[in-house]
């Protein structure tokens, strides 16, 4: 039976190699104790976030190229919020089959390395047939509150905030995505995007055992309880995943899991970060894992009341603080 031991050892080596190739990223940091001031900030943030989610995922509802009036209303909401914050909004216009659409972009220039860009993006369209409260009004809400929080701060690197159109099917993973348009233009301009963070479906968390699912083979290594923020990158973006996790874990006690793996694994490239991988930029996705956890994913039931408000706010607070640290202080 010597061959049995050899085979077992071989399987073990393959399993370990696969795990290392998948790269569960989990730096070891002492998590902070959130004091009353931080908890009060999170409670206030919760209210502001849910106002955006209510407007986009409730009042406006389904918004895509088949619902152009609603899509323009969503863009108007974003534009008005940024103008109130004191930004000059750039509209990145293009056409799909003769129909106009646009990304919206603002920047907070860095004082020491203005050419070094940390780009944070979220798509503002929703899938056909869904009001898109979690997917992706939650991502847009964090984008708007992050720009609000960082607007008055001195930062070493430039932070670019981008609201992308056309992430959802039938444009998903095609050259017609708004984020592909932006990434292509950035590469043609020779821009130094040092980090791209895609805010994607961030409002649903559960402590119920078995509430979290995965594509194979991740279920062997990751929690079965869907109460964490997921930080997802490809192999070449591992350094960015590690950096974000370090910053997030330094400022937040919210559960977080990270992975840097092969882009062909289902779910790994399912958002606007894919567009930047195509141009060779380091990029990651921040998500609640969407269809692997959220029961109302891409359905008419994706309504604002399905968002887990306190957990959403805690995750958002950590994300905002982590980006602040990534951009650096002069």
- Nearest-5° angle of CA 311, CA 46, CA 227? 5
- Res. 138: pLDDT tops 50: yes
Torsion of Cα atoms, 185 then 63 then 268 then 138, to 10° = 100
**CA 246 to CA 272: how far, in whole Å?**
23
Band (pLDDT 50/70/90 cuts) for residue 6 is very low
**CA 255 to CA 306: how far, in whole Å?**
20
* CATH fold for the domain made of 25-327: Aminopeptidase (3.40.630)
**Residue 30 corresponds to which tokens in the numbers above?**
């002492």
pLDDT digits (tens, 9 = 90+) for 25-39: 666 777 888 889 999
Greater confidence (77 vs 15) lies with: 77
pLDDT digits (tens, 9 = 90+) for 192-221: 999 999 999 999 999 999 999 998 777 778
Residue 184, Ramachandran bin (φ over 0: left; ψ between -120 and 50: alpha; else beta): alpha
> In the chain, where are the structural domains located?
25-327
Tracing tokens 């002492």 back to the chain, one arrives at 30
**Reported pTM:** 0.92
The pLDDT assigned to 24 comes to 60
How many helices (H) and strands (E) are present in the chain, helices listed first?
8, 9
Band (pLDDT 50/70/90 cuts) for residue 1 is very low
The pLDDT assigned to 23 comes to 57
The pLDDT assigned to 326 comes to 97
pLDDT digits (tens, 9 = 90+) for 237-279: 999 999 999 999 999 999 999 999 999 998 999 999 999 999 9
- What b/e sequence results for 183-222 when a residue is b if at least 16 CB atoms lie within 10 Å of its CB, and e otherwise? beebeeeebebbbbbbbbbbbbbbeeeebbebeeebeeeb
The pLDDT assigned to 330 comes to 64
What are the beta bridge partners of residue 96? 99
The pLDDT assigned to 204 comes to 98
Share of residues in the chain with pLDDT > 90 (%): 84
pLDDT digits (tens, 9 = 90+) for 71-94: 999 999 999 999 999 999 999 999
The pLDDT assigned to 220 comes to 79
Band (pLDDT 50/70/90 cuts) for residue 9 is very low
Q: Which residues contact 213 (CB under 8 A, 6 or more apart)?
A: 219, 292, 293
């Amino acid at each position: 039976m010597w061959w049995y031991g050899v085979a077992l050892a071989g399987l073990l080596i393959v399993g370990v190699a696969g795990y290392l190739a998948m790269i569960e990223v989990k730096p070891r940091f002492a998590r902070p104790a959130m004091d009353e001031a931080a908890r009060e900030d999170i409670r206030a943030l919760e209210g502001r976030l849910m106002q955006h989610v209510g407007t986009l995922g409730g009042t406006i509802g389904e918004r895509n190229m088949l619902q152009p009036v609603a899509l323009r209303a969503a863009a108007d909401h974003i534009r008005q919020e940024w103008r109130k914050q004191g930004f000059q909004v750039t509209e990145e216009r293009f056409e799909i089959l003769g129909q106009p659409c646009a990304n919206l972009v603002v920047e907070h220039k860095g004082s020491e390395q203005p050419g070094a860009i940390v780009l944070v993006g979220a798509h503002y369209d929703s899938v056909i047939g869904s009001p898109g409260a979690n997917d992706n009004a939650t991502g847009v809400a964090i984008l708007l509150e992050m720009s609000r929080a960082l607007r008055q701060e001195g930062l070493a690197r430039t932070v670019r905030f981008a609201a992308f159109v056309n992430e959802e099917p039938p444009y998903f993973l095609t050259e017609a995505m708004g984020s592909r348009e932006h990434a292509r233009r950035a590469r043609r301009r020779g821009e130094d995007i040092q980090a791209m963070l895609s805010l994607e479906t961030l409002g649903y968390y559960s402590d119920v055992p078995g509430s979290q699912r995965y594509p194979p083979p991740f279920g062997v290594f990751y929690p079965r309880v869907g109460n964490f923020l997921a930080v997802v990158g490809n192999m070449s973006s591992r350094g960015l995943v590690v950096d974000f996790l370090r910053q997030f874990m330094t400022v937040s006690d919210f559960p977080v899991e990270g992975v840097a793996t092969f882009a062909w694994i289902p779910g790994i490239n399912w958002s606007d970060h894919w567009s930047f991988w195509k141009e060779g930029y380091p990029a990651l996705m921040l998500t609640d894992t969407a269809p692997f956890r959220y029961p109302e994913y891409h359905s008419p039931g994706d309504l604002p009341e399905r968002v887990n408000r306190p957990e959403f706010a805690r995750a958002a607070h950590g994300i905002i603080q982590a980006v602040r640290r990534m951009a650096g202080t002069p």
